[in-house]
Homo-oligomer: A and B are copies of this chain.
Amino acid sequence: LPKYDAIIIGAGILGLATAYHIKREKPNQKVLVIDKKPAAGQGNTAKSGGMFRSFFYSKTNFKLANSSIEFYKRLEESGVDLGMRWTGYLWLFQEDQYKRLEADLKEMERRGGEFKLIDRREIEEKLNINTKAGESEEAEIMNLKNIDIGLLVPKAGKIDVEKLVSYYEREFLRMGGEVIYGTEVDEIIVEPEIKLELPGEPYFWQEAKVSGVRVGSKIIRGKKIIVATGVWADQLLDGIGVDSYQKPKKRQIFVVKAEEEKLKRLLYAEGFNREGCIPFTILPYPRIYVKPSIEEEAFWIGYADDFNRPFQLEEDPQPEENYYRYGIYPVLSAYMPQFKDANPINAWAGQYAINTFDGQPVIFEERNLIVVGAASGSGIMKADAIGRIASALYFGREKAELYGGEEFKVEHLGIKNRYVEREEFVI
């Protein structure tokens, strides 16, 4: 007899949000979360930039992110510290880039997306950065652009990922959920409904379903198995011929201290938000981002390279010194001369689980196996909605109720009847 109603593999943000919502909906469910790391959120969740925004073009993205952010906000308002900082997002554009987005922005505004445009003069005044980077000679080779306009989005900022993970874990445990850490699942078990003791069964003519997980020589049985392991999903799913629809891609973050006065002034730029700091800022091209971290008096800097960055599963991906030195630094310092001669004091790398088809999460069920993943780099900001949708799927409902009351058709994030809107507005 199955010991658990649900076994969730992966104690990252998606696994724990799913675990929490299953217990929240039906506290009598016996739910186990199992993870190879020694604690919750220690995989790629821990490597995240921890940013959030509800400013998306795609209705799918908007619903998932907006409802999750509203939920996190409500938690904070009710006294749960999630370290949310409403720094806002600031996209910097050259005129021609902005023009191409103008129609989409109008549509986003119509749907309630809040933003403010700021002109070059104001950008220069507030940030003292180089708005004419596109005109320098060296810039040609780096395809730099001028900064003519800024798009400031207030409903956005950062969240303390560890605190968010801890919240879901704590509440899950409080409701009687079980966790096993430091324990790797070796295999997902598939068994026939009726065992015939044939060598190599189940055969294709036998009704077969996922019935548990193997950990070393031990089998733990569950009525449903939920795989929420991020980039590691294929290690478990390839063996039973189920696709996770995601590919691993390394993402690096470099931390630069605001030591010199000029960097401090940039960090504590006034007039953007109540935090009294520069917003999460995205350069025109290449779209390097600069995230303020007042707690550390530092910036987190990164870039999501795509073509020619390998798909490669790594247990412990490392940041590359040259990626900062020759990749990020020349661009960053051309736009923001304050970074001249500044070096990272810290850096790390994680992996995005990218859905290369449409960039949106994937949630589907097959023979008592539920797969939750492919969050493609925006798993933190969508985690609550993803957890609710996975929970609805687990309970066999057609629709999930997102925080705030909006309904979401579960199959829209599945494969067969998938219906997602492509994002037009990417970082």
Contact = CB atoms under 8 A, between A and B. Distances in A.
B310 A238 contact: yes
Contact of A310 (B144, B198, B240, B303): B240
A201 interface: yes
A207 interface: yes
A251 interface: no
A199 B326 contact: yes
A141 B197 CA distance: 13
Interface string A387-423: 0000000000000000000000000000110000010
Interface residues of A, number: 53
B238 A196 contact: no
A234 to B, nearest CB: 8
Contact of A205 (B245, B309, B331): B331
A239 B311 CA distance: 6
A208 B307 contact: yes
Q: How many copies of this chain are found per oligomer?
A: 2
B201 A307 contact: no
A16 to B, nearest CB: 27
Contacts of A367: 307
A28 interface: no
A326 B200 contact: yes
A308 B208 contact: yes
Contacts of A201: 326
Contacts of A323: 200, 203
A119 interface: no
Given A310-B240, A367-B307, A194 B141 contact: yes
A249 interface: yes
B310 A357 contact: no
A247 interface: yes
A351 to B, nearest CB: 12
A326 B243 contact: no
A312 interface: yes
A239 B307 contact: no
A286 interface: yes
B238 A305 contact: no
Contact of A303 (B196, B204, B312, B356): B204
A112 interface: no
Contacts of A303: 204
19 contacts: A141-B194, A141-B206, A143-B207, A144-B205, A199-B326, A200-B320, A200-B322, A201-B326, A204-B303, A204-B305, A205-B331, A208-B308, A238-B311, A241-B249, A243-B247, A243-B357, A245-B357, A356-B415, A357-B415
Which 5 pairs from chain A and chain B are nearest by CB? A243-B356, A204-B305, A142-B205, A238-B311, A203-B327
